[in-house]
Structure 1
Amino acid sequence: MPNEANHSPHSAHIINYHLVWIPRDRKRVLVGPVEARLKELLAGIATQYGVEILAVEVMSDHVHLFVSAPPKFSPAEIVRLFKGIPSRKLTKEFESLRCQYWGEHATLWAEGIT
Protein backbone atom coordinates (compact mmCIF):
# COMPACT_ATOMS: atom_id res chain seq x y z
CA MET A 1 0.00 0.00 0.00
CA PRO A 2 1.47 3.35 -0.99
CA ASN A 3 2.13 5.76 1.87
CA GLU A 4 2.33 8.81 -0.37
CA ALA A 5 -0.68 10.66 -1.72
CA ASN A 6 -1.46 10.53 -5.42
CA HIS A 7 -1.51 13.97 -7.00
CA SER A 8 -3.66 15.38 -9.75
CA PRO A 9 -3.79 19.02 -10.86
CA HIS A 10 -6.36 19.95 -8.21
CA SER A 11 -6.06 17.37 -5.47
CA ALA A 12 -3.94 15.01 -3.44
CA HIS A 13 -5.56 11.77 -2.39
CA ILE A 14 -5.16 8.29 -0.99
CA ILE A 15 -8.31 6.32 -1.74
CA ASN A 16 -8.08 2.55 -1.45
CA TYR A 17 -10.86 0.00 -1.82
CA HIS A 18 -10.88 -3.66 -0.81
CA LEU A 19 -13.45 -5.39 -3.02
CA VAL A 20 -14.58 -8.98 -2.53
CA TRP A 21 -17.15 -10.75 -4.69
CA ILE A 22 -18.27 -14.28 -5.51
CA PRO A 23 -19.66 -16.15 -8.53
CA ARG A 24 -23.38 -16.92 -8.46
CA ASP A 25 -24.19 -19.82 -6.18
CA ARG A 26 -20.54 -19.63 -5.04
CA LYS A 27 -19.60 -22.08 -7.77
CA ARG A 28 -15.90 -22.92 -8.01
CA VAL A 29 -15.41 -21.73 -11.59
CA LEU A 30 -12.48 -19.31 -11.20
CA VAL A 31 -9.76 -21.83 -12.02
CA GLY A 32 -7.30 -22.49 -14.83
CA PRO A 33 -7.86 -20.42 -17.97
CA VAL A 34 -10.84 -18.58 -16.43
CA GLU A 35 -8.66 -17.41 -13.53
CA ALA A 36 -5.85 -16.32 -15.85
CA ARG A 37 -8.22 -14.46 -18.16
CA LEU A 38 -9.94 -12.75 -15.22
CA LYS A 39 -6.59 -11.44 -13.96
CA GLU A 40 -5.80 -10.13 -17.47
CA LEU A 41 -9.17 -8.39 -17.67
CA LEU A 42 -8.77 -6.80 -14.22
CA ALA A 43 -5.31 -5.49 -15.15
CA GLY A 44 -6.64 -4.08 -18.43
CA ILE A 45 -9.53 -2.32 -16.72
CA ALA A 46 -7.17 -0.80 -14.16
CA THR A 47 -4.88 0.52 -16.88
CA GLN A 48 -7.77 1.87 -18.96
CA TYR A 49 -9.38 3.76 -16.08
CA GLY A 50 -6.27 4.91 -14.20
CA VAL A 51 -6.83 2.67 -11.19
CA GLU A 52 -3.85 1.00 -9.52
CA ILE A 53 -4.20 -2.62 -8.45
CA LEU A 54 -2.35 -2.98 -5.16
CA ALA A 55 -3.22 -6.67 -4.70
CA VAL A 56 -5.37 -9.26 -6.43
CA GLU A 57 -6.21 -12.78 -5.30
CA VAL A 58 -8.47 -15.00 -7.36
CA MET A 59 -9.66 -18.06 -5.48
CA SER A 60 -11.81 -20.77 -7.07
CA ASP A 61 -14.99 -19.30 -5.55
CA HIS A 62 -14.22 -15.63 -4.82
CA VAL A 63 -12.11 -12.64 -5.77
CA HIS A 64 -10.22 -10.17 -3.54
CA LEU A 65 -9.16 -6.95 -5.21
CA PHE A 66 -7.37 -4.11 -3.42
CA VAL A 67 -7.17 -0.97 -5.54
CA SER A 68 -6.20 2.68 -5.30
CA ALA A 69 -8.53 4.89 -7.34
CA PRO A 70 -8.76 8.57 -8.18
CA PRO A 71 -11.55 10.55 -6.50
CA LYS A 72 -13.49 10.93 -9.76
CA PHE A 73 -14.82 7.36 -9.29
CA SER A 74 -17.43 6.47 -6.68
CA PRO A 75 -17.12 3.12 -4.90
CA ALA A 76 -20.14 1.86 -6.89
CA GLU A 77 -18.44 2.83 -10.17
CA ILE A 78 -15.29 0.94 -9.20
CA VAL A 79 -17.33 -2.17 -8.40
CA ARG A 80 -19.33 -1.84 -11.63
CA LEU A 81 -16.16 -1.66 -13.71
CA PHE A 82 -14.38 -4.58 -12.09
CA LYS A 83 -17.45 -6.86 -11.96
CA GLY A 84 -19.41 -5.87 -15.06
CA ILE A 85 -16.78 -5.93 -17.79
CA PRO A 86 -15.25 -9.29 -16.77
CA SER A 87 -18.69 -10.88 -16.35
CA ARG A 88 -19.67 -10.05 -19.93
CA LYS A 89 -16.32 -11.01 -21.43
CA LEU A 90 -15.82 -14.24 -19.48
CA THR A 91 -19.31 -15.58 -20.22
CA LYS A 92 -18.80 -14.70 -23.88
CA GLU A 93 -15.37 -16.37 -24.09
CA PHE A 94 -16.00 -19.53 -22.00
CA GLU A 95 -18.84 -21.77 -23.10
CA SER A 96 -18.69 -23.69 -19.80
CA LEU A 97 -19.67 -20.48 -17.96
CA ARG A 98 -22.56 -19.81 -20.33
CA CYS A 99 -23.90 -23.31 -19.69
CA GLN A 100 -23.62 -22.94 -15.90
CA TYR A 101 -25.16 -19.49 -15.82
CA TRP A 102 -28.13 -19.95 -18.16
CA GLY A 103 -27.00 -18.13 -21.23
CA GLU A 104 -24.75 -15.36 -22.42
CA HIS A 105 -26.81 -12.56 -20.86
CA ALA A 106 -26.86 -13.95 -17.32
CA THR A 107 -24.40 -12.41 -14.90
CA LEU A 108 -21.47 -14.45 -13.65
CA TRP A 109 -21.38 -12.81 -10.21
CA ALA A 110 -23.74 -13.08 -7.24
CA GLU A 111 -26.02 -10.11 -6.71
CA GLY A 112 -24.59 -7.08 -5.01
CA ILE A 113 -23.54 -3.61 -6.05
CA THR A 114 -23.01 -3.58 -9.82
Structure 2
Amino acid sequence: MDNASIAHTRWNCTYHIVFIPKYRRKIMYGETKKDIVEILKKLCEMKQITLIEGKVCKDHVHMYIAIPPKLCVSECMAYLKGKSALMLFDRHPEYRSRWGERHFWARGYYVATVGNVNEDTIIEYIRQQEESDKLEDGRK
Protein backbone atom coordinates (compact mmCIF):
# COMPACT_ATOMS: atom_id res chain seq x y z
CA MET A 1 0.00 0.00 0.00
CA ASP A 2 1.44 3.35 -0.99
CA ASN A 3 1.12 6.39 1.21
CA ALA A 4 -2.44 7.64 1.62
CA SER A 5 -3.34 11.22 2.37
CA ILE A 6 -5.79 13.20 4.45
CA ALA A 7 -5.87 17.00 4.47
CA HIS A 8 -2.16 17.94 4.59
CA THR A 9 -0.82 14.58 5.73
CA ARG A 10 0.71 11.65 3.83
CA TRP A 11 0.61 8.43 5.81
CA ASN A 12 1.18 4.69 5.80
CA CYS A 13 0.04 3.36 9.18
CA THR A 14 -0.67 -0.35 8.83
CA TYR A 15 -1.24 -2.87 11.60
CA HIS A 16 -1.62 -6.61 12.02
CA ILE A 17 -4.35 -7.18 14.61
CA VAL A 18 -5.57 -10.42 16.18
CA PHE A 19 -8.46 -10.76 18.62
CA ILE A 20 -10.51 -13.62 20.04
CA PRO A 21 -14.02 -14.32 21.29
CA LYS A 22 -14.46 -14.51 25.05
CA TYR A 23 -12.92 -17.69 26.50
CA ARG A 24 -11.57 -18.41 22.98
CA ARG A 25 -14.77 -20.22 22.09
CA LYS A 26 -14.68 -22.03 18.75
CA ILE A 27 -17.93 -20.56 17.43
CA MET A 28 -17.05 -18.54 14.36
CA TYR A 29 -18.14 -20.76 11.48
CA GLY A 30 -21.09 -20.97 9.12
CA GLU A 31 -23.60 -18.14 9.34
CA THR A 32 -21.83 -16.53 12.31
CA LYS A 33 -18.57 -16.33 10.35
CA LYS A 34 -20.32 -14.72 7.35
CA ASP A 35 -22.00 -12.20 9.63
CA ILE A 36 -18.74 -11.29 11.39
CA VAL A 37 -16.98 -10.75 8.05
CA GLU A 38 -19.80 -8.53 6.80
CA ILE A 39 -20.02 -6.57 10.06
CA LEU A 40 -16.28 -5.93 10.33
CA LYS A 41 -16.07 -4.78 6.69
CA LYS A 42 -18.97 -2.39 7.21
CA LEU A 43 -17.54 -0.98 10.45
CA CYS A 44 -14.12 -0.44 8.83
CA GLU A 45 -15.74 1.49 5.99
CA MET A 46 -17.67 3.66 8.42
CA LYS A 47 -14.44 4.71 10.21
CA GLN A 48 -12.41 5.04 6.99
CA ILE A 49 -10.21 2.13 8.04
CA THR A 50 -8.82 0.24 5.07
CA LEU A 51 -9.13 -3.52 5.46
CA ILE A 52 -6.19 -4.82 3.41
CA GLU A 53 -6.52 -8.48 4.36
CA GLY A 54 -8.49 -10.40 6.94
CA LYS A 55 -9.60 -13.84 7.99
CA VAL A 56 -12.15 -15.01 10.51
CA CYS A 57 -11.05 -18.36 11.90
CA LYS A 58 -13.14 -20.51 14.25
CA ASP A 59 -11.60 -19.03 17.41
CA HIS A 60 -9.83 -15.81 16.35
CA VAL A 61 -9.81 -12.96 13.83
CA HIS A 62 -6.79 -11.69 11.87
CA MET A 63 -6.93 -8.24 10.29
CA TYR A 64 -4.31 -6.32 8.35
CA ILE A 65 -5.62 -2.77 8.34
CA ALA A 66 -4.55 0.79 7.60
CA ILE A 67 -5.73 3.25 10.24
CA PRO A 68 -5.58 6.99 9.49
CA PRO A 69 -3.24 8.82 11.89
CA LYS A 70 -6.13 10.88 13.27
CA LEU A 71 -7.38 7.66 14.94
CA CYS A 72 -5.52 5.62 17.52
CA VAL A 73 -5.40 1.83 17.46
CA SER A 74 -7.06 1.37 20.86
CA GLU A 75 -10.03 3.56 19.87
CA CYS A 76 -10.42 1.64 16.62
CA MET A 77 -10.34 -1.68 18.42
CA ALA A 78 -12.84 -0.53 21.04
CA TYR A 79 -15.11 0.61 18.20
CA LEU A 80 -14.71 -2.55 16.09
CA LYS A 81 -15.14 -5.00 18.96
CA GLY A 82 -17.89 -3.08 20.74
CA LYS A 83 -20.08 -2.34 17.72
CA SER A 84 -19.52 -5.75 16.12
CA ALA A 85 -20.62 -7.49 19.33
CA LEU A 86 -23.83 -5.46 19.46
CA MET A 87 -24.54 -6.05 15.77
CA LEU A 88 -23.82 -9.77 16.14
CA PHE A 89 -26.14 -10.01 19.16
CA ASP A 90 -28.88 -8.38 17.06
CA ARG A 91 -28.45 -11.06 14.39
CA HIS A 92 -27.89 -13.95 16.83
CA PRO A 93 -29.81 -13.29 20.07
CA GLU A 94 -28.94 -16.78 21.34
CA TYR A 95 -25.38 -15.56 21.99
CA ARG A 96 -26.64 -12.71 24.15
CA SER A 97 -28.68 -14.98 26.38
CA ARG A 98 -25.90 -17.55 26.63
CA TRP A 99 -22.94 -15.24 27.46
CA GLY A 100 -24.47 -12.05 28.75
CA GLU A 101 -24.90 -8.65 27.21
CA ARG A 102 -21.98 -7.06 25.36
CA HIS A 103 -19.51 -9.85 26.09
CA PHE A 104 -18.74 -11.57 22.81
CA TRP A 105 -15.05 -10.60 22.46
CA ALA A 106 -12.27 -11.09 25.01
CA ARG A 107 -10.84 -7.89 26.51
CA GLY A 108 -7.43 -7.79 24.86
CA TYR A 109 -5.98 -7.98 21.37
CA TYR A 110 -2.63 -8.33 19.65
CA VAL A 111 -1.31 -5.51 17.48
CA ALA A 112 1.92 -5.08 15.54
CA THR A 113 2.94 -2.34 13.17
CA VAL A 114 3.69 -3.53 9.66
CA GLY A 115 6.35 -1.90 7.54
CA ASN A 116 6.78 -2.24 3.81
CA VAL A 117 9.51 -4.84 4.31
CA ASN A 118 7.33 -7.50 5.93
CA GLU A 119 3.95 -6.65 4.39
CA ASP A 120 3.98 -9.67 2.05
CA THR A 121 4.93 -11.96 4.93
CA ILE A 122 1.99 -10.76 7.03
CA ILE A 123 -0.49 -11.11 4.15
CA GLU A 124 0.70 -14.65 3.41
CA TYR A 125 0.51 -15.57 7.12
CA ILE A 126 -3.08 -14.31 7.37
CA ARG A 127 -4.10 -16.21 4.22
CA GLN A 128 -2.61 -19.43 5.61
CA GLN A 129 -4.59 -19.19 8.85
CA GLU A 130 -7.79 -20.50 7.25
CA GLU A 131 -5.91 -23.43 5.69
CA SER A 132 -4.36 -24.19 9.07
CA ASP A 133 -7.85 -24.32 10.64
CA LYS A 134 -9.06 -26.72 7.94
CA LEU A 135 -6.09 -29.04 8.47
CA GLU A 136 -6.63 -28.98 12.23
CA ASP A 137 -10.33 -29.88 11.81
CA GLY A 138 -9.41 -32.76 9.51
CA ARG A 139 -7.18 -34.37 12.16
CA LYS A 140 -9.93 -34.59 14.76
TM-score (norm 2): 0.73
Q: Which amino acid aligns with 1:42?
A: L
8 Å CA contact 2:3, 2:12 repeated in 1:
yes
Structure 2: how far apart are the matches of 1:17 and 1:82? 14
Q: Which residue does the alignment assign to 2:52? A: 54
**Is 2:70 the partner of 1:72?**
yes
Greater percentage in helix: 2
Post-superposition Cα deviations, 1:60-88, rounded to whole Å, max 9, x if no partner, equal: 00000110011110010111122111111
Post-superposition Cα deviations, 1:32-68, rounded to whole Å, max 9, x if no partner, equal: 1111011111111111111110111100000001100
Q: Which amino acid aligns with 2:47?
A: Y
- The counterpart of 1:30, out of the listed 28, 31, 35, is 28
8 Å CA contact 2:53, 2:65 repeated in 1:
yes
Structure 1 residue 110: deviation in Å?
1.0
Q: Which runs of 4+ in 1 moved over 6 A?
A: none
Structure 1 residue 27: deviation in Å?
0.7
Structure 2: how far apart are the matches of 1:80 and 1:49? 12
Q: 2:39 is paired with a residue of what secondary structure?
A: helix
Q: Which amino acid aligns with 1:5?
A: N
Structure 2: how far apart are the matches of 1:96 and 1:90? 10
Structure 2: how far apart are the matches of 1:60 and 1:100? 18
Structure 1 residue 95: deviation in Å?
2.8
Q: Which runs of 5+ in 2 are unaligned?
A: 110-140
Q: Which runs of 5+ in 1 are unaligned?
A: none
Structure 2: how far apart are the matches of 1:48 and 1:39? 14
Larger gyration radius, structure 1 or structure 2? 2
8 Å CA contact 1:13, 1:71 repeated in 2:
yes
Percent identity of equivalent pairs:
24
Give aligned pairs, total.
Answer: 109
Q: Which amino acid aligns with 1:6?
A: A
**Is 2:90 the partner of 1:92?**
yes
RMSD of aligned residue pairs (Cα, Å):
1.3
Q: 2:37 is paired with a residue of what secondary structure?
A: helix
TM-score (norm 1): 0.88
